[in-house]
A and B are shown apart, each in its own frame.
Chain A
């Protein structure tokens, strides 16, 4: 059904999206939690910074990442010299672009899920002798889990679809940074690419619908267990 090249594209896309999800899951949950619960000077600045990729043209985000992580920036040099990590025209650049672009979706979902929690339950747990970290782990997190999970699925789907920042930072190199959307774009530019476009578009649709249905199912299952839905 798919050609070897197309399979490679799908594999790369899944790897990029998976790595991006792994990279942003913990920071995303922590950021969402902080934005929901903490009050500190500079909070609105942090909030704006996290959400910036949602409103900026993705190409601009990609270009800013290119500047920040390129060989000529201090950060890019440190990452290259110490870890041997390159981001420009590299699949790791696609991971960073996807993670930065999808992070706001995850943070918003986590923040909403935490804000919806009944603080009285946490107070009750505290009167039972549970320290704040234990309250977070045994009350807040399990009860917010459906919302957090839905955010993770949404973020994963966003990673799979990332185009503008990816092509700006990581380029369009087959096997390296030619992810699903980048490949679809490339095939539309080729005279004989129609059939490949159809197949990849169909695949994208299938993956997206699967992700949505899956997240709904997981949320409902968790919701039943938790009793909050």
Chain B
């Protein structure tokens, strides 16, 4: 997928002027509320008309103000999952799922109804009415409806914002499944970085109606000017790994991270071998120059400093432990330890600091499962 946007939208109290080229399979869009994230999505799916510029998806011009082109929403083939689902209340779940599918010629159907229903675990809901569904079920159905429209691009507009933490944790795996099983490009808007990073590797930061940054989290974290925005969005490491084994006696689960290192987190329920994302906040990590014996911290990951960004009183230090790990220490600690790029260090953190849910609630990790 290649999405090129160079357009502006003017509203009474708000202006969006974006110039960006997106070519990643999944991009997470974040930024403060009112920054223009939703307006950007509405621009892409045609619900908002630009005053100036062009929007081009895979070589197809969707908007070109100078040439007088505006492809209406219903002809864009861009699926959207809205924050509140917006299921049609007078149709059953099945009617909702088939609403867009029916409008497409069979030859254009990319996904089988049964596959989508099975993947999203909604087969038992097909005869129900939307108002009888829980928030999480509603969003799964909305996701299924968007997929069955066989879109060229799937837009997720804060799809989890209306759900509580426990439900978010239930839905995120479905979003990941969709990304993995259906080769469909995703643009995911959220104000929560932890949520985005579990689905997307690539990020787009929107601030005050413009693109403020683009790239991986580690890329963005190199820019000191962006750090306040990253913190507002709940700056967090998302460590990918899989469950190795459980030690119920010690209350710990061992997880092998991608890239080799092994960490211990509070006891979990997933079967050994299950892929798992662990969230770890940078401020929950301490740095030492060598492995520290005789300490209650369960995790000590050796690595090498790859970047340091001065954010005033605090310094964001990226260390490579097999995958990049963002850590945050005080300026004083940097001076005391003599931290510098290239230096070997050890990242220390408690097992309970590793959580599996987003929203900056890592310190409640021990209550998980």
Contacts and interface: CB of A to CB of B under 8 A. Distances in A.
B90 A227 contact: yes
Interface stretch (A92-100, A116-124, A213-221): A116-124
A34 interface: no
Most chain B C-beta atoms within 10 Å of own C-beta, residue among A126, A138, A226: A126
Given A124-B82, A227-B131, A130 B99 contact: yes
A176 to B, nearest CB: 44
Contact of B100 (A121, A128, A139, A228): A128
A205 to B, nearest CB: 35
B120 interface: no
Interface string A115-150: 000101101111111111011001100110000000
Given A120-B84, A227-B130, A129 B89 contact: no
Contacts, number: 73
Interface residues of B, number: 28
- Max chain A CB contacts within 10 Å: which of B72, B79, B103? B103
Given A120-B82, A227-B130, A127 B149 contact: yes
A130 B103 contact: yes
B330 interface: no
B86 A143 contact: no
A37 interface: no
Nearest to B79: A127
Contact of A127 (B80, B84, B87, B104): B80
B146 interface: yes
A225 interface: yes
B78 to A, nearest CB: 7
Given A124-B80, A227-B129, A227-B131, A129 B74 contact: yes
Contacts of A126: 47, 72-74
A124 B79 CA distance: 9
Given A127-B146, A127-B149, A130-B74, A227 B45 contact: no
Contacts of A138: 99
Interface string B107-132: 00000000000000000000001110
A130 B100 contact: yes
A200 B72 CA distance: 57
A121 B86 contact: yes
B145 interface: yes
Given A129-B77, A129-B100, A124 B89 contact: no
A143 B90 contact: yes
Contacts of A125: 88, 99
Contacts of B80: 124, 127
B364 to A, nearest CB: 33
Contacts of B87: 124
Interface in B47-99: 47, 72-80, 82, 84, 86-90, 99
Nearest to B84: A120
B184 to A, nearest CB: 14
Contacts of A143: 89-90
A218 to B, nearest CB: 15
Contacts of A129: 74-75, 77, 100, 103-104, 149
B88 A139 contact: yes
Contact of A124 (B76, B78, B86, B103): B86
Nearest to A135: B74
B16 to A, nearest CB: 18
B99 A121 contact: no
A229 to B, nearest CB: 11
A26 B79 CA distance: 34
A158 B74 CA distance: 41
A225 B90 CA distance: 6
Nearest to B73: A126
22 contacts: A120-B82, A123-B73, A123-B86, A124-B80, A124-B86, A124-B88, A126-B73, A126-B74, A127-B78, A127-B80, A128-B74, A128-B99, A129-B103, A129-B104, A130-B99, A132-B74, A139-B88, A142-B90, A143-B89, A225-B90, A227-B90, A227-B129
Given A120-B86, A127-B47, A129-B77, 9 more contacts: A118-B86, A120-B84, A123-B47, A126-B73, A128-B79, A128-B100, A226-B89, A226-B90, A227-B90
